[in-house]
Structure 1
């Protein structure tokens, strides 16, 4: 359930009991998750040391082994202490534990220091409040669903371009989106993948600062790898987590490999081709088209993910930033 509201004179989004958005076909939903079983053990008499250990193990299973997890545990415990009495009651511990089971809430915590995610403003039970992002689509407004199926794709693109902000503002949003991809690749708490790359899941605020509107479409590397490990397949499509986090299928072994066919950066560049090329300044268009095309062909192989990806990403950001840096749009 998602509600809009006013809190302390600001527009907010209130979320309660959200189901996971990323469903992977064939996932072993029938088996009780270890963290849910652990949740049953969170009873009166659980010590703070035991609770810390539970949190650390939970974060390791979801974010992977990271040296920074101890600091995140400290932040979670501080957040759990709602009444600021220096202690965590059983009710407070159960509340924060229930929230951590929600992928979006876990990612909000993991990425809270980044400027490209909605700010978490408060929580209670399994309910939490975030700032409202005024523009919840890359194009400002999405074509109504009823019309989407009726309009040819070419007309759909034209409508999007008509609804979109002026080109310099789109360039600023695009730079923010590229920065977000940079942040989630080897971030403080590990690597994250965008697993449904769509203009409907990304947006911006009134200053045209990019915001990842739907964090439920983002997954941790540990989660995706756990899904792929030992998974049987006939084709690449059998190795897909969420909407488009696809790994290669080893046709000989009939098992999914661990590397993504297409990394988040390549998928985002595909999105940006329709977003920043139309209306781009003539002197920039050819080079921008060339760099975006190069970006969309990037491989998800681990051996190519470091220097090459950083180079492509920084070149794109620099190209766009140079064009708007000394204007009112920056």
Structure 2
């Protein structure tokens, strides 16, 4: 009797387990069906809309065939999803072969109609040229843009027939609303920025990177040996400092890194790669954004996480402010380059980094100081690894 009673209990327990598993599965399926669509799904929907408008000859782009006809572009995951501006990882397969390359797919995801549907006022190349010039002046101020405008017009001619159609004009204007796209074009040829591969509609694609974070295992340094060797870290750090130097005195003035963290710097081999330029801004761009901006405190006077000014006595943001990139850069690099440094070099290196972090943007000679500190740090690092 005890044997049969034990069997019944086991059957009841098994049945209860099966029923609870089924209920849990059904609950999970209901949760998945009711939650918001994923970022990858939203991008796929945007690609479908873009391909529809491409077939209707409303938009264009040198990658439209890859996206819409050959379908040899694949999306992996959303890399940067904190804002409406999304950066995805993916692969682009070479037609007729198994060769593929890692890419970044970039798109400003909004619920409203795409920008290119509102860009129907361009009837000639001169209309487009004028619109590009006006947009660049708003973003960078009064500079000579002829070379940059020519480069953008060449990009706009996606079928290389030396004629810009309405679809090409619409497409280029919608892309120019994307700050990352403009900065990618401005910094074309800079080896710290992934090259532009192409675009279709308001979606554009750049080269991928090997690693998408400078210090992926920073929190576990004490438990695991996850850092690259110190000389490798120095080469990476120097490449970051070189990029800061490149954008400090550009032909369009100074560019400011208004969102800089270890998570925004990728790696290609032993070189830094700034793969998301959404918050790279000119001084003019920041000034225009903050001008006449009402405020209750200085927290209301920000442009991106790292660019901020003060709230003035009249309740308006003070737009004329000086900011430099180096202190924030050195704050990110401090542990990265001081940990594991040679014992004889550590005191000098720590002093250089501390001097860099404590730089005061309000100094009258701040740009000279910026150059001196940057060169001292960069040259000292190079000299030290050449001794090893």
Normalising by structure 1, what TM-score? Answer: 0.81
SS of 1:257 mapped into structure 2: coil
Displacement, 1:306? Answer: 1.7
SS of 1:255 mapped into structure 2: coil
The question of whether the paired residues in 2 share the 8 Å contact of 1:233 and 1:254 is answered with yes
1:184 to 247, 253, 260: 247
SS of 1:15 mapped into structure 2: strand
Give yes or no for the alignment of 1:128 onto 2:204: yes
User: Which position in structure 2 is the counterpart of 1:213?
Assistant: 275
Greater relative contact order (Cα 8 A, min sep 6): structure 1 or 2?
1
Q: Structure 1 residues 261 and 6 mapped into 2: Cα distance closer, same or farther (>3 Å)? A: same
Counterpart Cα distance in 2 of 1:59 and 1:142: 40
Counterpart Cα distance in 1 of 2:133 and 2:223: 44
Displacement, 1:125? Answer: 1.5
Deviation per CA, 1:247-272: give whole Å up to 9, x if none: 1333x343322355752211001111
Give yes or no for the alignment of 1:18 onto 2:18: no
SS of 1:117 mapped into structure 2: coil
Displacement, 1:73? Answer: 0.4
Counterpart Cα distance in 1 of 2:223 and 2:319: 35
SS of 1:272 mapped into structure 2: helix
Counterpart Cα distance in 1 of 2:176 and 2:221: 41
2:288 to 226, 243, 262: 226
Deviation per CA, 1:111-132: give whole Å up to 9, x if none: 1121111111112212222111
Give yes or no for the alignment of 1:296 onto 2:296: no
The question of whether the paired residues in 2 share the 8 Å contact of 1:63 and 1:221 is answered with yes
The question of whether the paired residues in 1 share the 8 Å contact of 2:119 and 2:173 is answered with no
Displacement, 1:37? Answer: 11
Normalising by structure 2, what TM-score? Answer: 0.70
Q: Structure 1 residues 162 and 255 mapped into 2: Cα distance closer, same or farther (>3 Å)? A: farther
1:272 to 314, 329, 333: 333
User: Which position in structure 2 is the counterpart of 1:312?
Assistant: 373
1:87-236 paired onto structure 2 within 5 Å: 87-139=163-215, 141=216, 156=219, 158=221, 162-206=225-269, 208-236=270-298
The question of whether the paired residues in 2 share the 8 Å contact of 1:270 and 1:296 is answered with yes
Displacement, 1:17? Answer: 3.0
Q: Which runs of 5+ in 1 are unaligned?
A: 21-35, 144-155
User: Which position in structure 2 is the counterpart of 1:150?
Assistant: none
User: Which position in structure 2 is the counterpart of 1:53?
Assistant: 130
Displacement, 1:198? Answer: 0.8
